[in-house]
Structures are given as C-alpha cells and as structure tokens.
C-alpha cells in the first residue's frame, strides 16, 4: 500500500508540481516493492538484505524521510484520530515481537511509528526505519477495526521482513540525503493527478532506477499478506478483516478505476491473492459496524478533505436517516465536527445536542461516551466556553491520554488561572520528557511557559517543536534567539539557559552530519 505525500521545502511551502511528481513515485513504489527484496529470516529471500544495507543505515534513511514528511501541510497530527490508529497499531507491533517477526537487531533501532496523511485516496505505505503512513481516507473506508488492522499488519510485515532495505540495497553508494530526497520525491509523484507530470518525472535516470528498485514483487506482497494475516490474528483481530478488505478494495477498483485507489494499482489484487486470503479463513462474512470505529471513521471523513464543499456535504448529514442508533450517532459526529471545522458553532452545537439526546436514550458505552465528550470539549474550547469544556471533560474519567492532556492545557490557558496553567505545564513537561517528538505538546508547553513569565522555557519549547517536525534550521534559530534573550538579562533562568546551550550544540552537530551525508561523506551503507 504505497503512495505519498507531497513534501514541503525547507521554508514549509509545497514542492512545485514537478518535484511532487518525483516524490510520489518513490513511496508508491517504496511501500510496496521489488522482486529482489528481502525477508531476513528466510534464506531464499532475505539474507542479503542484512549484508547489503545495515539496520543503522535504514534507520537513518527513515528518519531523514520523516523529517521531510513532518513539514508537509498534509502531515496530519490529529490527537484523537491518531490515538485511535495507534490503539490498533500497537497490538500489532506487540504481536510481531511475540511471534519473532521483529528481531532484536531491529527492535531497538526502528521507530515502530504510524502516522496520518490528509488525503482522499485509499492507501497506506511503509517507509525505512519502521514508519507506516496511513491516509485518512483509508480509515474512512474501513467498516471495522479488523479491516484497518489488516492493512496495518500488511505494511508492518513489509518493515519486519526488511523488504524496503532489500529494494534500496543496490543504491547504497549514494549519499543518505540524496537517497532520502529521491524517496520523498517519488512519494510526491504518486500524489500528482497529472499523469504527464509523473511520466516526465520518471524519465530521469535516477528516478527510473529508484522505481525499478522499489517496486515490490508479487512474491513480496504475498509474503506480507501471509505474515500480516498471522500477526493480526495474534494481536486479537478477526482475520476475516483481511478478506473483507481485499474484497472491498477489489470492488472499489472495478467501480472507480480513476486513479482514486492507488492501493490497488500499487498492489495488484490478483485472483490468486484474493483466493489465498479467502482460503485462510473461508468465505467472507458480513461485518457489524462497531460504534467506536464508526465515530473515528466519521472524523476521518471530515479530515481527509479540507475543502469547504466537502465539509458542507458532511455538515448536512445531521438531516440524514440511518438504520440504527450507532450509525445515526456517527452521522451527527460528522455533522458536528464538519461544522466545527467550518467555524459554524451554532450548527455544530445543534448536531452535538442531538447526539447527546441519542446517547442518553441508548445503553451506556464508555468508549463511545469518551470519544463523544472529547468532541464536545473541542467544540466548547473553539467557542471560548471554558466552563462548558471543563464540564464535558469532567464527565469521563481522566485517563492521562494525549488528546485529553492537550485539551486540558488549552482549557487552562483559556481560563487564565495561574495555578491551573502551572499544573498543566508540569503535566506537559512530564509528557514531553517521554515523548520528545510530540510537536503539539511542546507548543502547548511553550504557551504555558510564556503565560507564567518563563520566556527562556517558552523559546526552548518552540525550538523543540520545530525539531520534532524535522525543521532543524528553525529549531537552531529559536535556540539562538534563546541565547540572545539569556545574554540580554531578560531571561534569568540559569538552568534553562544551560539546557539551551547544550541543545543548540546537539542540533548543530546533527545538521553538520546531515550536510556531510548530503555531500557523500557518510551516506554509504555501513557494513
């Protein structure tokens, strides 16, 4: 499942369309892969992957590609939807470890991270170093967590079998950043709706070579299917979800062969592959839509297309009929969330109140209640109704989750209460100590520090947010601003000033290493 995001340039602007075309080609091919690829534990497929490109090199390549991806406007960090995606991803990773698919040599080095992309195409893709991207439209298409788990398990298996390392092994002599740039470039090409641009892009010798190296073979796809099937079963998901997903994607491809389903184009769903999936579990059975998944699917539908026209259509779902209470609640969620994104708060509150009445009349479901309350808190905070947000958040247990942490910080800042802002700032500090790549949490911490009169802490948190997004230049600029502030005498925090100095040296060293790799001084594979 591979396609890619158009990655932004150093300034944060999108690449020109020609560059974007170059970029989409590598992920579409990257996440789904070549006939020369590797499965490390099967001698016939994978031994050479470990010998031709090291795990460390693959990790560094993945990190560099992710630096580019995180700066793209379509990189989607929605705490609620991402938390749900991770609730499916983490059991799969744990099951892969238990089964021995994740071996000790890659376990501690790879990121094992899944992330979201704002895109209307149904797709997912794997990257070097243990990163798996998921288009919001894929979540919107799935009818159950099991179907989504089947896609994630498939992509996870591409990583654990080191198919990606195998595909790029013949390019190991290129500089690391040059290879990362090609990966990002081919990713962007997959997103181009203009076939002429994509064709022009792949005419270049490097892009053509990369495409040839990174096209997964059908053997590798079958291997990812087989291993992914076992992983999702070990993780507790219904393995019939894989058959249903294949059947759904195959139907979608036949009905909508208009480049909207690159998953199918990148992964040829041969009759043999579909038959194998069915043979593992028997005939496809109907699936019942679980309400919690329905709400997250509704959220994904709103997020995958930011256009006003698309959100107007979803806003009108509050008037639509549904066969059951769960489906009706999902429609109201779509309407309320779309109205919130459109900043039409009265309409959002109307749909939300209708959902509250529906929930009150139905048997209690804690997971549904939690997701609904988080939406209500988002809505109240957007309106500046801090008391209403507090009341809604108080109606469900405090689970220490990231979405709730960020909402509580926003509510504290809105309240203006010094003691409350201090408490939330301390909670955020504890969170980022364990989650250094959480840019949203760093930004919230910066706001709390600024409101408490701690300018050095605020500037450093801004720098860490830039670093988490892969913008080393922006992070270094903020840290230098922090140094100037400390030297001016306005920042009187000696400890924070020392941290800024140390962090600046660290990031400058990182940038020097990356520049050396770009010049070809350290980009080869490590043997």
Q: How far apart are CA 526 and CA 318, in angstroms?
A: 57
Predicted pLDDT at 223 = 87
CA distance 107 to 18: 37
HSE-up (13 A, CA, CB side) for residue 291: 24
Helix (H) or strand (E) holding 124: strand 124-127
**Residues 514, 515, 520, CA angle at the centre, nearest 5°?**
95
Within 13 Å of residue 485, how many CA atoms lie on the same side as its CB?
22
- Which of 80, 180, 193, 185 shows the shortest CA–CA distance to 131? 180
Is residue 209 a contact partner of residue 202, using CB atoms and an 8 Å limit?
no
Backbone conformation region of residue 470, classed left if phi is above 0, alpha if psi is from -120 to 50, else beta: left
Give rounded-to-5 percent helix, strand, coil for the chain.
70, 5, 25
Query: What does the pLDDT look like over 402-445, one tens digit per residue?
Result: 999 999 999 999 999 999 999 999 999 999 999 999 999 999 99
User: What is the reported pLDDT for 30?
Assistant: 38
- DSSP letter at 288? P
C-alpha distances out from residue 105 to 52, 102, 109, 230, Å: 15, 8, 7, 21
pLDDT of the residue at 44: 32
Question: CB–CB of 30/179 below 8 Å?
Answer: no
Q: Give, in order, the Cα–Cα distances in Å from 143 to each of 89, 152, 286, 291, 327.
A: 17, 15, 10, 10, 11
Nearest to 448 by CA among 478, 428, 475, 477: 428
User: What is d(CA 275, CA 43) in angstroms, rounded to the nearest whole number?
Assistant: 27
> Is 169 in contact with 149 (CB distance < 8 Å)?
no
Query: Do residues 396 and 362 make contact, with C-beta atoms less than 8 angstroms apart?
Result: no
pTM of the model: 0.82
Upper half-sphere CA count for residue 93 (Cβ side, 13 Å):
18
Distance CA 70, CA 8 (A): 9
Q: HEC string of 218-283?
A: HHHHHHHHHHHHHHHHHCCCCCHHHHHHHHHHHHHHHHCCCCCCHHHHHCCCCHHHHHHHHHHHCC
Q: What are phi and psi of 229, to 5 degrees?
A: -60, -45
Length of the chain: 527
> Coil, strand or helix: which one is 39?
coil
**Using CB atoms within 10 A of its CB, is residue 258 exposed (0-12), middle (13-18) or buried (19+)?**
exposed
Q: What is the pLDDT of residue 152?
A: 96
> Is residue 165 exposed (0-12), middle (13-18) or buried (19+ Cβ within 10 Å)?
buried
**Sign of the torsion formed by the C-alpha atoms of 457, 462, 468 and 473:** negative
- Within 31-170, residue ranges assigned H as helices are 43-52, 55-70, 79-99, 104-107, 136-141, 145-160, 163-168
If you search the block for the tokens 């439209």, which residue do you land on?
Answer: 137
Rounded CA-CA distance 17/19 in Å is 5
pLDDT for residue 94: 97
- Residues 6 or more apart from 423 whose CB is under 8 A from it? 412
Q: Residue 486 burial (CB < 10 Å; 0-12/13-18/19+)?
A: buried
**What is the dihedral sign for C-alpha 337, 341, 347, 349?**
positive
Helix, strand, or coil (residue 132)? strand
pLDDT in tens, the chain (527 residues): 433 333 333 233 333 333 343 343 344 333 333 332 233 333 334 444 444 678 888 898 889 889 889 989 999 999 999 999 999 999 999 999 999 999 999 999 999 999 999 999 888 989 889 999 999 999 999 999 999 999 999 999 999 998 877 766 545 545 555 556 655 665 565 555 554 444 444 444 444 444 444 455 667 788 889 999 999 999 999 988 888 888 777 776 654 444 443 443 445 555 666 677 677 765 444 444 566 899 999 999 999 999 999 999 999 999 998 888 889 999 999 999 999 999 999 999 999 999 999 999 988 899 999 999 999 999 999 999 999 999 999 998 899 999 999 999 999 999 999 999 999 999 999 999 999 999 999 999 999 999 999 999 999 999 999 999 999 999 999 999 999 999 887 667 788 999 999 999 999 999 998 888 767 654 443 33
Query: Per DSSP, what are the bridge partners of residue 125?
Result: 133
Lookup: tokens for 387: 């008391």
**DSSP letter string, 385-421:** -HHHHHHHHHTS-----HHHHHHHHHHHHHHT-HHHH
Say if strands 131-135 and 113-117 run parallel, antiparallel, or are unpaired: parallel
């Amino acid at each position: 499942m591979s396609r890619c995001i158009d990655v932004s340039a150093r300034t944060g602007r999108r690449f020109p369309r020609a560059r974007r075309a170059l970029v989409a080609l590598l992920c579409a091919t990257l996440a789904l892969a070549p006939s020369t690829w590797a499965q490390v534990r099967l001698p016939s497929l994978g031994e050479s992957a470990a010998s031709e490109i090291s795990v460390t090199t693959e990790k560094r390549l993945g990190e560099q590609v992710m630096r580019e991806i995180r700066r793209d406007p379509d990189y989607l960090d929605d705490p609620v939807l991402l938390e749900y995606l991770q609730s499916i991803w983490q059991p799969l990773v744990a099951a892969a470890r238990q089964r021995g698919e994740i071996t000790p040599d890659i376990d501690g080095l790879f990121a094992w991270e899944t992330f979201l992309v704002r895109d209307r195409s149904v797709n997912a893709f794997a990257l070097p170093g243990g990163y798996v991207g998921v288009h919001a439209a894929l979540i919107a298409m799935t009818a159950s967590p099991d179907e989504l788990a089947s896609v994630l398990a498939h992509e996870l298996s591409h990583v654990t079998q080191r198919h990606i390392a195998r595909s790029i092994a013949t390019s190991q002599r290129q500089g690391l950043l040059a290879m990362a740039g090609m990966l990002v470039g081919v990713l962007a090409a997959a997103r181009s709706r203009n076939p002429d641009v994509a064709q022009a892009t792949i005419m270049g010798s490097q892009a053509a070579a990369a495409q040839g190296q990174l096209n997964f073979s059908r053997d590798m796809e079958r291997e990812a299917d087989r291993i992914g099937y076992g992983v999702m079963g070990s993780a507790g998901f219904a393995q019939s979800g894989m058959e249903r997903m294949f059947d759904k994607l195959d139907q979608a491809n036949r009905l909508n062969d208009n480049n909207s389903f690159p998953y199918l184009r990148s992964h040829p769903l041969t009759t043999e592959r579909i038959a194998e999936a069915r043979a593992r579990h028997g005939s496809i059975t109907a699936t019942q839509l679980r309400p919690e998944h329905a709400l997250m699917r509704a959220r994904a539908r709103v997020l995958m297309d930011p256009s006003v026209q698309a959100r107007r259509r979803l806003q009108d779902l509050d008037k639509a009929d549904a066969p059951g209470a769960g489906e009706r609640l999902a429609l109201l969620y779509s309407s309320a969330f779309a109205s919130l994104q459109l900043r039409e708060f009265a309409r959002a509150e109307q749909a939300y109140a209708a959902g509250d009445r529906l929930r009150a009349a139905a048997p209690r479901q804690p997971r549904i209640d939690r997701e609904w309350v988080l939406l209500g808190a988002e809505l109240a905070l957007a309106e500046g109704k801090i008391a209403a947000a507090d009341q809604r958040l108080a109606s469900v247990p405090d689970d220490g989750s990231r979405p709730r942490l960020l909402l509580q910080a926003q509510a504290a800042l809105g309240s203006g209460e010094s003691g409350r802002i201090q408490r939330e700032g301390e909670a955020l500090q504890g969170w980022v100590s364990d989650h250094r790549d959480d840019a949203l949490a760093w930004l919230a911490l910066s706001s709390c520090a600024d409101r408490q009169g701690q300018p050095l802490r605020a500037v450093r948190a801004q720098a860490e947010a830039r670093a988490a997004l892969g913008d080393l230049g922006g992070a270094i600029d903020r840290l230098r601003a922090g140094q100037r502030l400390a030297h001016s005498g306005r920042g009187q925090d000696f400890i924070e000033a020392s941290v800024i100095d140390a962090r600046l040296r660290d990031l400058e060293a990182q940038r020097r290493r990356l520049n050396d790799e770009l010049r070809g001084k350290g980009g080869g594979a490590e043997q």
